[in-house]
Each structure stands twice: as structure tokens, then as C-alpha cells.
């Protein structure tokens, strides 16, 4: 049995004060933290205040990115060790906005995955094809390539979460169909089986325009264990509804 995960990727949104207000509003609703791994990925500036606000609440704290070196002359970067010291337990690696807007390569992503694991963080590795790649019939090949490249040289019992996020579905209001999302999740799990002994236990999330009203169709899919949510996670009520949807799926 895989514990469902509901992950809020706030991207470049919310000041630390706004993050604290979200935490107060969200916690007041008693989110289902024992049945679901509820994780908030705020911007770096809100990590310290949120680590205090979420302490002992059962809500996990994540980071949206990290650098692969441990310390030194890397202006503007933050290491996995720094994040772990603030109570961060998950880190998103290889989000499509970092791949496509910030130019992150598969090789850099692989180094970050390695560094995250060495820092004791669980990477949430994002993979997904562009619209052009899907229309050319290359979606599966792209996702397999991204997965293999990111996990190159790794093996054994890997603590890992994978998020399948088709690039064309992120922030667009378009989603993959439940059948397509399941097909890609099954492909990812199958591929993971040749890399890690933890493939059956690895949570695979769907991401891309997930909302309280459409999340159930993804959660019902056999190989999908939760969602990575951008826009809809900025509102505490919507994120609470998403978390409750994951809880009802967990009890089936």
C-alpha cells in the first residue's frame, strides 16, 4: 500500500507573511495528515517561518529546488544540507519550468538527485513531455530518457517520488486524460523496476492543472498515488479539498 501524497508547489508566489497566513487557515481545517503525506513547497524565503509554523503538525515541508554542491562560492544557490537543517524533507528536482525556462539539463538534474539523496532529502523528480513531443508520438521515449538520465548510476532502495507532469498541461487548464496519465505512470513504474528495488513502493504523482474538481479521476488510476499541484494549491481551501480527495482515495 502506497501512502498518497498531496503536494503544493507554490512556485514564485507568497511572501513569508502570506505563507504563514496560509498555514494558519489550512491547519484550522485539520488536514488529513495521518492518511496522506501533505507537503508544501514554498519559495525559499518562506521556508524558515513555515518550518516553525508546521512543526509537529504532520504537514511536511519541501523545497522547489537546490544546488548539487554542499557549500562554497556558488552565489545565489542553496544546498540540500541547508534545507535539511530547516526541517525540509522533500525537494522538487527537474521541474519543467527549471528545465525549460532556466535551462536545466538532464546532467544537472542527475547531480541534484544524487546530492539530495546524500543530504537525506527525498527528491520529487519531475518528468514530462512537451506538446510537440506528444504530437510526434515521442512522449513515452522522452519520459523514459528523462527518468534514466536523472537516476543514472543510482540503484538499490531509493527514497524517491516521481511526478509525471506533461509540460502542455502545466498552468494551462488542460489536463492529460486519466487513461494517458495512468499509461505514463505505469511506464514510469515499469522503468523504475529496472533501476530501484523500491519501484512498487515509489509514489508517482500526476501534475498539470490539477484542481479539486478533477483530482479524483487521477487518484483513481492504479499507478497514480497523488498530485503535484501549482495554481490550485495557493488557496488553503482548495488545497484542503485536494488533500481530502487523497484521503478518500487512501481508504478505498
The catalytic site residues sit at 95, 165
Q: Is 231 in the site for ligand PGA (CB under 6 A)?
A: yes
Could you tell me if 10 and 96 are in contact, meaning their C-beta atoms sit under 8 angstroms apart?
Answer: no
> What secondary structure letter does DSSP report for 8?
E
Q: What cell was used for 62?
A: 519541501
Could you tell me if 145 and 112 are in contact, meaning their C-beta atoms sit under 8 angstroms apart?
Answer: no
Could you tell me if 63 and 81 are in contact, meaning their C-beta atoms sit under 8 angstroms apart?
Answer: no
- Rounded Cα distance between 52 and 216, Å, is 32
- How far CA 101 is from CA of 69, 108, 149, 240, in Å, comes to 22, 14, 19, 30
Q: What phi, psi does 61 have (nearest 5°)?
A: -110, 135
Q: Is 62 in the site for ligand PGA (CB under 6 A)?
A: no
Among the listed ranges 76-84, 152-160, 207-215, 244-252, the one in contact with ligand PGA (CB under 6 A) is 207-215
Q: Which residue reads 494551462 in cell numbers?
A: 172
Q: Which of residues 8-47 bind ligand PGA (CB under 6 A)?
A: 9
Among the listed ranges 116-124, 141-149, 178-186, 230-238, the one in contact with ligand PGA (CB under 6 A) is 230-238
The minimum distance between CB 55 and ligand PGA, in angstroms, equals 25
- Alpha helices, DSSP H, located in 125-173: 131-135, 139-150
Among the listed ranges 43-51, 69-77, 154-162, 203-211, the one in contact with ligand PGA (CB under 6 A) is 203-211
> What secondary structure letter does DSSP report for 94?
S
The minimum distance between CB 36 and ligand PGA, in angstroms, equals 17
Q: Is 123 in the site for ligand PGA (CB under 6 A)?
A: no
Q: Which is nearest to 93 in space by CA: 115, 112, 79? A: 112
Looking at beta carbons only, is 12 or 73 nearer to ligand PGA?
Answer: 12
Looking at beta carbons only, is 42 or 207 nearer to ligand PGA?
Answer: 207
Q: Is 129 in the site for ligand PGA (CB under 6 A)?
A: no
Looking at beta carbons only, is 91 or 153 nearer to ligand PGA?
Answer: 91
Q: Which of 187, 228, 238, 245 binds ligand PGA (CB under 6 A)?
A: 228
Q: Is 171 in the site for ligand PGA (CB under 6 A)?
A: yes
Q: How many residues bind ligand PGA (CB under 6 A)?
A: 13
Q: What cell was used for 73?
A: 562560492
- Catalog residues that contact ligand PGA under the rule CB under 6 A: 9, 165, 170-171, 207-210, 228-232
Amino acid at each position: 500500500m502506497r501512502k498518497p501524497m498531496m503536494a503544493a508547489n507554490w512556485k514564485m508566489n507568497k511572501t513569508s507573511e502570506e505563507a504563514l497566513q496560509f498555514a494558519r487557515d489550512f491547519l484550522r481545517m485539520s488536514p488529513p495528515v495521518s492518511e496522506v503525506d501533505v507537503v508544501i513547497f514554498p519559495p525559499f524565503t518562506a521556508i524558515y517561518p513555515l518550518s516553525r509554523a508546521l512543526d509537529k503538525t504532520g504537514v511536511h515541508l519541501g523545497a522547489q529546488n537546490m544546488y548539487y554542491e554542499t557549500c562554497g562560492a556558488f552565489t545565489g544557490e542553496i544546498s540540500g544540507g541547508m534545507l535539511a537543517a530547516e526541517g525540509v524533507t522533500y525537494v522538487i528536482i527537474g521541474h519543467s519550468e527549471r528545465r525549460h525556462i532556466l535551462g536545466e539539463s538532464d546532467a544537472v538534474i542527475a547531480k541534484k538527485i544524487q546530492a539530495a539523496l546524500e543530504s537525506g532529502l527525498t527528491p520529487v523528480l519531475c518528468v514530462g513531455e512537451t506538446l510537440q513531443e506528444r504530437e510526434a508520438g515521442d512522449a513515452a521515449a522522452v519520459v523514459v530518457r528523462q527518468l534514466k538520465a536523472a537516476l543514472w548510476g543510482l540503484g538499490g532502495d531509493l527514497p524517491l517520488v516521481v511526478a509525471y507532469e506533461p509540460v502542455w498541461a502545466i498552468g494551462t487548464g488542460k489536463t492529460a486524460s486519466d487513461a494517458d496519465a495512468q499509461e505514463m505512470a505505469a511506464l514510469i513504474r515499469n522503468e523504475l523496476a529496472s533501476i530501484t528495488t523500491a519501484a512498487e513502493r515509489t509514489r508517482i504523482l500526476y501534475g498539470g492543472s490539477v484542481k479539486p474538481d478533477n483530482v479524483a479521476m487521477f487518484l483513481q488510476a492504479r499507478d497514480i498515488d497523488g498530485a503535484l499541484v501549482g495554481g490550485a494549491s495557493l488557496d488553503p481551501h482548495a488545497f484542503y479539498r485536494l488533500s481530502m480527495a487523497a484521503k478518500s482515495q487512501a481508504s478505498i
